[in-house]
Amino acid sequence: MKVIIAGDFAPRARLAKQIENKRFGEIFPDKLVKIIKSADYSLVNFESPVIEDGFEPIEKCGPSLGCSSNAVDAIKYAGFTAVTMANNHILDYGSNGLSKSVECCKNSGLDVVGVGNNLQDAEKILYVKKNEKILAVINCCEHEFSIATSTTSGANPLNPIRQYYSIQEARKNADYVLIIVHGGHEHYQLPSPRMQEIYRFFIDAGADVVVNHHQHCYSGYEIYNSKLIFYGLGNFCFDWEGAQDKKWTEGYFIMVDFNSILSFKIYPYCQYGIEANIKILNEDNLTIEIEKLNNIIYDNKLLNLAMDSYLKESTKDLKNIFSPIRNRYINYVWRKLFPPFLSNKSRLFILAHLQCESHIVKVLYKLRMK
């Protein structure tokens, strides 16, 4: 069974205009469509909910993404047969946007996995039967503003305990188990040690392949206990105003051949850089860069050093997250006129409440209260 897995699809900027005018051939060249349709099954991450007039965005931090039902037609045109929806944007327009997205995809014949009317619904396993073999697909995402609860709709949250039981169920009912996770550090090309530990655990629990996306850049992969872990595919089709950085515009999708011995092929591409389309690149284009990433991934010491360096650089201004003032100009004046907001005593108090699992429950409860 040959299965293609691709990264994030979100209509914005030039891509959104092409989709609204249904110029799908400009987006997806024939060569790309031919590759996707050559697979027995194919999945792409649908990261922008379908919205209509009257749909209101939820309260959250970060941008709210939305698209029309034409986006679903574009995915069908490209040749995909399924969408993963467990991601941090699928609930940007609440339950209305989520239910409309699911409705449009299913009406178009696309399978949907990773979301539901509640947590129990969202974590349902997708079973696919091809060539007398059954593939189980489990889709989840890290916790942001899109997560389903026992009483509200949303995405299936990353929870290794619950995913363990899903894997056990899938192993009883399927020949192969594929887990697709949406998470990681944006614009950082390596997995955190935490991600590696969890994804390896999924393999130890019985998964055959684990695939990750979300970071807006590609990462490397590893063969772990004869199984496959891909730590980041990059944007599949995600235009952003002014984004010309290769980290944003380059990525790859994979074709995994589920068989007694797993094999795979990487398809590198450039998406929405200078040209407003997805262009398949020669396989050698990313090989050297991916190998560099793989060498770090396989070496725990190097992986931890890389993470420490990233955290040191990316958290310089993170102390401002604890300030009640959200205006950057007032924050600037405040820092100039007054001593640091966090005293050592305050720092230790916050640390105690963020590193202890029992304290975290209380902090989250309080922050969720209006």
Residue (of 100, 93, 85) closest to 9 by Cα position: 85
CA 111 to chain centre: 18
pLDDT, one tens digit per residue, over 234-258 is: 999 999 987 778 999 999 999 999 9
pLDDT in the model for residue 326: 67
Split at pLDDT 50, 70, 90, the class of 92 is very high
Split at pLDDT 50, 70, 90, the class of 337 is low
Q: How far is CA 368 from CA 8, 60, 242, 346, 361, in A?
A: 28, 11, 34, 22, 11
pLDDT in the model for residue 136: 99
The whole-model pTM stands at: 0.94
Contact present, 49 and 65 (Cβ < 8 Å): yes
Strands in 133-141's sheet, in edge-to-edge order, are: 126-130, 133-141, 176-182, 209-213, 227-230, 221-224
pLDDT, one tens digit per residue, over 42-85 is: 999 999 999 999 999 999 999 999 999 999 999 999 999 999 99
Residues with Cβ within 8 Å of 281's Cβ and at least 6 positions away in sequence, in order, are 250, 268, 269, 270
Spell 43-56 as b/e; 16+ CB within 10 A means b. Answer: bbbbbbbbbeeebe
Is 212 in a helix, a strand, or coil?
strand
* Other C-beta atoms lying within 10 Å of the C-beta of residue 333: 11
Q: Cα separation of 114 and 135, whole Å?
A: 15
pLDDT, one tens digit per residue, over 289-318 is: 999 999 999 999 999 999 999 999 998 767
Task: Kindly state the average pLDDT of the residues 306-332.
Answer: 79
Q: Cα separation of 56 and 62, whole Å?
A: 15
